[in-house]
Amino acid sequence: MMTNDTIDRDAGETLGAVARLLHHAAIRAWARADAEGPRSPMHLMGLGIYIAFCQAVAMLPADDYLDGHSPIQDDVVQLLTSAEKLTRSIPVSDETAGISALAVAICDLVREATP
Amino acid sequence: MNARDERSVGELLLDADFTTRQVLMDATGEDAQAMLRTWGEVVQSASELWATLPRPAGGTSPIDGATMARLETISQSMHRDQVRRGWPGDGPADERLLHVAETFTRVAGLIDRRGAHIGATDPAVRADLDAARMRIMHTLYVGAHSVGVAAQQHVADVEVSTRGKSDRESRAVPRGQDAINRLAAFEQLAGAYVGNRFARAAGGEHVHGPNGAERLQQALIGWDIQAHRTLAATPTAANLLLASRTQAGIATAAVAILHAGARTGHVDTNAYQHRLAPTLDATQQAWTDVASRWAEMTSPDSRTDVDLVQAAGELRAAVREVAHDKTTWARPDVMAGRVDLGEAAQHLQQALSTAVDIASVIRDVAAQDTSLTGPARAMNHRANADIDRTADRGHRGKDVVWVTPGDVYANRTVTLPEPVRAGLVDATDTLVQTASNAMSAAACLDRVAQDGPSGSGPEPTAPRSHRREGPTPMAQDVTRVARP
């Protein structure tokens, strides 16, 4: 599996927090989808968020960056918005290659999730 | 220029970046024309800013200047095309993108006035310059994506509103499509500079490929191939989770698209209502159930195969292009305006066939892979739940400790407890059966729809029952099918 061993500690911790927010948002979206039933469009929203989570994890070193408290928010849009805001402090560099695509993915998800 | 604005070059560049992100989050089809009018200005000011950045004494990589030059060429070509076609024509600019262009110009002015002394041989200065170039290119990447999103939405809106009307009235469609293609090329170039190795998974970035039903077909085939490859090579819980959730998504999307097909006369209404929808709901629930079990076996830092992530991302993007409208499903007539729903139904029919094989692969992993593990707490919880479930069916088990208190306390990774594996095997057996039922029901999609348009089809409302459905009368006892 791909890992990124060149990312610096600060960026890694921020990215870890982004990943936790995305993971929680995917879980919340799927919980809502399950409650709504098999035809809920939230199934694909959850999938999209989970895909973004996988992208974020793939950018992290094989380390403990994903340890930490679960987010307290439960609203999917709020979780995504928080994740996007956190990505703003991650530098765009060779070491964080993929952050631009991740930022775009999260912005797309915010737009898709906002009625 | 605002003389009181004392922000640094870095702060101004962040402002431009954050503005394009906001544009992307808010983009709608109504913004497309103003955004297209303004985009050239953004690129031109970025190019001028790029030219003012001091060049390192040792020279830069040839790709640095070449990429910006190519982006400017694409933008100029878009502008010439807009002038020739008279579209989007005169009108208001997009204020947010105008702000980005003005910010780039302000940065260029700052560097011009104060940057003459910058010693580009200093490593720290070189790092700052590299960071500035990256941020500019990143902003163009995000900006191009946002203009492309708005243009795509605009084209989709025009396609619906001008259906059946003259070429003159629908001419915004080909004009918009040209702009979308150029913006996609732009986005790909800028993305390569900032190293978007995950771009295809990101937003379903899709450059110069087919659209509509053909894209859906390619995405379904690509997903099938990649899922088989990944699950054969690395059948980890993380990969099995994404595979199962994506398959659940395919089943959900299939109901929405086939419902639209039934409502618009592309799919037999009776077959949809009485055979397809119930079996697809059942297989969707079975995929979701299995996915939940794999999710319990992952740890927070479990890695998912990047190729699988990309294939899932492209599939989701292809489905959205056909079936979604913001947070909900598009109306049947809107979907019918986007793609040939009969063709889409046939692609889904093939995907529902290959789903049986993916389900069988997953069942084999569940039954045979002795290396499966999971976090002790989740495994303990699941073991107790599965024991209770079998006890409810009259099979009370012995009082056995499946996970030690020490493992639970430390939440160590443990081998799959026997009740958990038994439950997983049960769930995957059900999955194979329901997937086979859905495949059998979907066999009717091989034929061209017989019914005319009908307004009496059921709404795609969500049944709330999570009861697992048994085999339907037309179910075949298919345990494994050959891959096509």
A23-37 pLDDT, tens digit each = 999 999 999 999 999
Q: What is the ipTM of this complex?
A: 0.93
pLDDT band at B445 (very low <50, low <70, confident <90, very high): confident
A100 neighbourhood in chain B, CB within 8 Å: 138, 141-142, 191, 194-196
Domain residues for A78?
9-113
The pLDDT value recorded for residue B390 is 73
The pLDDT value recorded for residue B35 is 97
Side chain identity at residue B150, one-letter code: A
Q: Chain B closest CA to A53's CA: distance in Å?
A: 10
Which of A2, A60, A92, A94 should we substitute to test contact with B (largest number of B Cβ atoms within 10 Å)?
A92
Cβ pair B17, B140 in contact under 8 A: no
Cβ pair B94, B26 in contact under 8 A: no
Overall number of domains in chain A: 1
B128 neighbourhood in chain A, CB within 8 Å: none
Give the separation between CA B230 and CA B222, rounded to whole angstroms. Answer: 12
Cβ pair B349, B429 in contact under 8 A: no
A63 neighbourhood in chain B, CB within 8 Å: 301
* Stretch among B37-41, B140-144, B207-211, B222-226 having the lowest mean pLDDT: B207-211
**A79 in a domain, yes or no?**
yes
Cβ-count burial B5-41 (b if 16+ within 10 Å, e if not): eeeebeebbbbbbbbbbbbbbebebebbbbbbbbbbb
**A1 in a domain, yes or no?**
no
Give the separation between CA B286 and CA A115, rounded to whole angstroms. Answer: 29
Cβ-count burial B354-373 (b if 16+ within 10 Å, e if not): bbbbbbbbbbebbeeeeebb
Which of B140, B194, B284, B302 should we substitute to test contact with A (largest number of A Cβ atoms within 10 Å)?
B194
Give the separation between CA B212 and CA B319, rounded to whole angstroms. Answer: 9
Give the separation between CA B484 and CA B205, rounded to whole angstroms. Answer: 27
**A4 in a domain, yes or no?**
no
Residue-wise pLDDT tens digits, B325-350: 888 999 999 899 889 999 999 999 99
Q: Chain B closest CA to A57's CA: distance in Å?
A: 7
Residue-wise pLDDT tens digits, B361-410: 999 999 999 999 999 999 999 998 888 877 666 555 556 778 899 999 99
The pLDDT value recorded for residue B317 is 94
**A3 in a domain, yes or no?**
no
